[in-house]
Amino acid sequence: MNEKLAKNNQSVEKVLQIIETMAQNKEPMRLQDIALNATMPASTTLRFLNTLMKRGYVLQDSITLRYSLTLKFMHIGSLINSQISIRDIAHPYLAELSRKCNESVCLAIEQDMEIVYIDVIDGPDGMLKITQRVGKIAPIHSTGIGKFILLNYDTKKLDRMIELKGLKALTPHTITSKNELLKELEKIKDQGYALDDEECELGVRCLSVGIKDYSGKYVAGISVSGPTTRMTMDYIQKFKQIVIDSADKISNHLAYKKA
């Protein structure tokens, strides 16, 4: 790398550092505070701020002289969002998971307080091909992915979901009471994964992990499913971390950052 290119790369890094510093602050900032938090000289910070102002990404209040980011970033974000498909991002990870776990792997999102599957990689024997398919809708309370989505819900929204959709028993193992469901959600928070333990269909067990975006909310989830004869609890313990790691990688693609 030549000297000019290295200098340009450093400049880009500094601009991004300024933007991230301002984005993390909830109020307009003084030049000195931006420079301090971005760990660079005030003169350098001012030079980059002037460039960002010229391009319409930063505004300076004429009275307080404080700087703030503009809504142009939201416009850029909306353009990027329109190009990004969770399915396209997740698909390679689903295929890899299916190979590693030797089972069916699914990607699902929430729609109208239900779960809809948007991508499915069939297991090697195709045993679950009929029960799991793209476009299939499942109750939110009886699926592992759905339970992760429910972690987004506050008490009011959870009550509304129960009122509208109910907690229907699909099998003798389905959770059918609010208290039981709340206990399950607390358990999922602690362990980092969710199970559908024959709750949707007898003889089928699923391990699920949620996917977060930049907002920190669960926007989707992945699940590994198979017959209970193969998907034993011992087997799940062996590969659960692989599923967690895959979900984390997809979340990273969606700009999620762990606290």
Please write the tens of the pLDDT for every residue from 196-225.
Answer: 999 999 999 999 999 999 889 999 999 999
Q: Where are the alpha helices (DSSP H) in 132-232?
A: 144-150, 155-165, 178-191
- Across 5-12, average pLDDT: 68
Rounded to the nearest 5 degrees, what angle is found at the Cα of 258, between the Cα atoms of 223 and 189? Answer: 50
Average pLDDT, the chain: 89
pLDDT greater than 50 at residue 232: yes
pLDDT > 70 fraction of the chain, expressed in percent and rounded: 90
Q: What is the pLDDT of residue 122?
A: 84
Q: What is the pLDDT of residue 117?
A: 92
Range 84-253 classified under CATH 3.40.50.410: no
Query: What does the domain layout of the chain look like in residue ranges?
Result: 3-79, 84-253
Question: Three-class SS of residue 114?
Answer: strand
pLDDT greater than 90 at residue 176: yes
- Whole-angstrom distance, CA of residue 12 vs CA of residue 224: 41
Q: What is the pLDDT of residues 56-74, one digit of tens each?
A: 999 999 999 999 999 988 8
pLDDT greater than 50 at residue 249: yes
- Whole-angstrom distance, CA of residue 121 vs CA of residue 106: 6
pLDDT greater than 60 at residue 128: no
- Assess whether the region 3-79 and the region 84-253 belong to the same CATH fold: no
Q: What is the pLDDT of residue 1?
A: 47
CATH number assigned to the domain covering 3-79: 1.10.10.10
Residue given tokens 């329109």 in the structure block: 82
Where are the strands (E) in the chain, listed by range?
58-60, 67-69, 104-111, 114-121, 137-139, 194-197, 204-212, 218-227
- Across 14-35, average pLDDT: 93
